[in-house]
Amino acid sequence: MSSRRNFLKASGILTAAAVMQPSITFSQIPENGLLKIKPKALKSGDTVAITSPAGAVWDSNQIEIFATILKSFGFNVVYGKTLKEKFGYFAGSDELRANELNDFFADKNIKGIFCMKGGWGCARILDKLDYKLIKENPKVLIGFSDITALLLAITSKTNLITFHGPVGNSGWNEFTKSVFTNVTMAQKSFIFPENPFGEDKIVTITSGKASGELFGGNLTVLSSLIGSSYLPHWKNKILFLEEAKEEPYSIDRMLTQLKLSGVLDVISGFVFGKCAKCLAEEPLKAFTFHEVIMQHIQPLKIPAFYGAMIGHIENKLTVPLGIHATIDADKGIILLNESSVV
């Protein structure tokens, strides 16, 4: 009962905060000079598609469970061929996975595209996507983990707002559904509170507030794209990251890569969500995750915190890439200054 009371309290905070925030208008011309494109808000009765652009789906029961969740929002569901394909560890060949995504964007009847799972494989299809087609057919695309590659590439190439949020085989509890609804099905600014369930409290790295466009996702995936043409110009961006099952030395290595490539030097704010199971195998011979984060981020002297509800966790935020936001590092808050959909 206590967890339910906490959830209801959290929902009240979310709703009240969203209503209280003023409607703020920002420039629709981001740093890359392209017009910002927002997808249409999802609504009951819309047709949405499930695809697996990365790893193969080995448990078919998960597909039906996810379809039932989507139908609970009032959506009609279309199943992608990739959900049943197996090509090594991929859900079909690179061509099949890329073509399915292109086809779903081209289909005027489909209003949203949901990814079934992550794994590995999205980076292999980035050069096979039709970005002109995607730009001309904006719609909600949502996923996280390996889907980070698609989100970063599409938003960077087209300025279409994409969504770092739950996939089909991750948890869709009441809290996660509530945030998803507020971000993708409502035309309003919105505030993400700190974790209302009392777990893993926010840790402030550097105090203060910062504003900028949100960009980020899984640290491993993002760092693997350094040097490619599928990342944004990072100046004045708020970088958000998440990770799972990586030892502190690995986090250290990837943050060093972001530092050496110039990413960390130009961002306006920093948020790390959860680093699930990121423990050292030999803790007496290693730094902790906290120590690694402090070593890399504190010297930047920009507002920064970690512990946001982003990542491989049960209670998950849906975070839009490309939306202008403000963070409060002391309170552990992310405020979306504008609606993510139209």
- Following CA atoms 151, 152, 158, 162 in sequence, which dihedral angle do they give, to the nearest 10 degrees? 30
What is the model's pLDDT at position 233? 97
What is the model's pLDDT at position 20? 38
Does residue 222 fall inside a structural domain?
A: yes
Does residue 342 fall inside a structural domain?
A: no
What is the model's pLDDT at position 15? 41
Give the single-character DSSP code of 35. P
> 317, 309 in Cβ contact below 8 A?
yes
Amino acid residing at 135: K
Q: pTM of this prediction?
A: 0.91
What is the model's pLDDT at position 198? 60
What is the model's pLDDT at position 288? 96
Does residue 114 fall inside a structural domain?
A: yes
Does residue 341 fall inside a structural domain?
A: no
Q: Are strands 76-79 and 47-51 parallel, antiparallel or unpaired?
A: parallel
Q: What is the CATH number of the domain that holds 23?
A: 3.40.50.10740
Domain containing 176: what range? 2-336
Question: Distance between CA 77 and CA 116 in Å, rounded?
Answer: 13
Between the CA of residue 113 and those of 76, 136, 281, 303, what are the distances in Å?
A: 12, 15, 38, 33
Chunked into runs of 10 residues, the chain (342 residues) has average pLDDT values of 42 40 43 80 98 97 97 98 98 98 98 98 98 98 98 98 97 94 97 68 96 98 98 98 96 98 98 94 94 98 96 95 97 96 98
What is the model's pLDDT at position 171? 87
Task: Indicate the angle between helix axes 289-297 and 248-260, nearest 10 degrees.
Answer: 10
Residues recorded for the chain: 342
For residue 133, count other CB atoms closer than 10 A to its CB: 14
**201 CB burial (10 A radius; 0-12, 13-18, 19+):** exposed
Question: Distance between CA 237 and CA 322 in Å, rounded?
Answer: 9
What is the model's pLDDT at position 201? 83
Among all residues, which ones are annotated catalytic?
145, 242, 312
Domains of the chain: total = 1
Which structure tokens are listed for 49? 């598609």
Stated as kind and residue range, the H or E segment containing 14 is helix 2-20
Question: Distance between CA 187 and CA 142 in Å, rounded?
Answer: 17
What is the model's pLDDT at position 79? 98
